[in-house]
Amino acid sequence: MSIEFNSHLPIGSTLTLSPGMGWNDVDMMYGSSAGAIKQMANAAGYEVVHMIAGFDMYLVQKELLNGLCPPPFASFGLKSRFFHYCVKDPNRRGKWMDYSTYKRTGDVGLAQQAAVEQMLLMRHPTDSGPSSLKCLGVV
């Protein structure tokens, strides 16, 4: 199976959009990070076996791997590409949530706070350009 991931987010992050949010056909606030999709896939019995830079992850049911080991997830670390516009709409800012926190607590507010903390740890707050926290709509 293939699934698109948001390549603007760090591969190790577990960010996804808050419930009710969708893509506006313009900015980089859409979908889920590769790390969040990996967690969801693993919980459903799938493994990530390949990624195409900036586009898709390929998943295979664990039982179909017949004991073969998929590549280490970290080996896909250079699969990010920036090609959408920064988040400009103030109503869309701060709407990322951490999938791990949401799964554990069911609390959107806590998951949104965890998303900001996660991005602050992964990105330097003074980064500029498409990888900045402001551009991603985190803050």
How confident is the model at residue 63, as a pLDDT?
Answer: 94
pLDDT, one tens digit per residue, over 19-77 is: 888 888 888 888 899 999 999 999 999 999 999 877 899 999 999 999 898 988 888 87
Q: Which position has the higher pLDDT, 62 or 8?
A: 62
Q: Give the number of domains in the chain.
A: 1
For the segment 5-28, the average pLDDT, to the nearest whole number, is 84
Task: Give bridge partners of residue 3 from the DSSP assignment.
Answer: 57
When the pLDDT of each residue in the chain is averaged and rounded to a whole number, the result is 83
Range of the domain at 58: 2-136
Pairing of strands 2-4, 15-17: unpaired
Tokens 């948001």 belong to: 6
